[in-house]
Amino acid sequence: MTALRSIAHELCLNLEEQTRVWRRLLDLSHAQLAALEVQDVHSVHAILQEVEIAMLDRSRTEVRRGVLLAQAGALLEIAPDQVTRDIIAEHCDAPLGQALAVAAEELRALVVELDAVVGRNTAMLEQELAIIEVLVRGATIDTSAQKTYGKHGMQQEAPRLRLLDAQV
C-alpha cells in the first residue's frame, strides 16, 4: 500500500515534530520550576507566555496527527481511534516501522517526564498561593472586633476596618 506508506512517513515526521514541541514544553517547565524556586515572578510570567505559544504548536501537531490517523483508518477500513502504531507498522517496511516505534517511544518518555515536572511546579505554586493567602488574610482582617450585645443577644462585632481597604 503506497498510500499507507506515505501516511506512515508523514506520521513519523509528525511524531518527530511533536517530540520537538514536547521537548520545548519540558525545557520551559524546568525553567519555570527554577524561577518558582527563586520566586522570580517576572520570569515565571515570561515563561508562561512561551508555554502558551508552545501549547498552540502542540495543538497544531496533534490535529495533524488526527487527520493522518483518520486517513490511515479510511485506507484500512477501521475507525481512526483503532489505528495504532503497530497496525501501521504491519503495513510498512521494517525501517519505517522501526522509525515510528523509536519516535513514538521518545515522545512517550517526554510526556512522562513532563508530567513529573508539571506535578512539581503545581505543588510549588499551590504552596506559594497558600502562603499568599495567609499573608493577605493577616493583612486584611481586623481582629480587634469586640463582643457586643445585639438584637439577638451576644454577637461578634463586625469588623469596622479592613486594613487593605484603608490603604486604598
Q: How confident is the model at residue 139 (pLDDT cuts 50, 70, 90)?
A: confident
Q: Is the dihedral of CA 48, 103, 5, 80 positive or negative?
A: negative
Q: Is residue 161 scored above 50 in pLDDT?
A: no
The domain limits of the chain are 2-124
Query: In this structure, which amino acid lies at residue 59?
Result: S
Q: Which residue has the higher pLDDT, 57 or 162?
A: 57
The span from the CA of 13 to the CA of 90, in Å, is 18
Average pLDDT, the chain: 85
Asked if 121 contacts 32 with a C-beta cutoff of 8 angstroms, the reply is yes
Report percent pLDDT > 70 for the chain: 83
Residue 85: its pLDDT value, please? Answer: 87
Least confident of 18-32, 61-75, 126-140, 149-163: 149-163
What local confidence, expressed as pLDDT, does residue 152 receive?
A: 65
Read off the pLDDT of residues 5-62 as tens digits, 9 standing for 90 and up. Answer: 899 999 999 999 999 999 999 999 999 999 988 989 899 999 999 999 999 999 999 9
For the full predicted model, state whether its pTM sits above 0.75.
no
Q: Rounded CA gap, 55 and 61, in Å?
A: 10
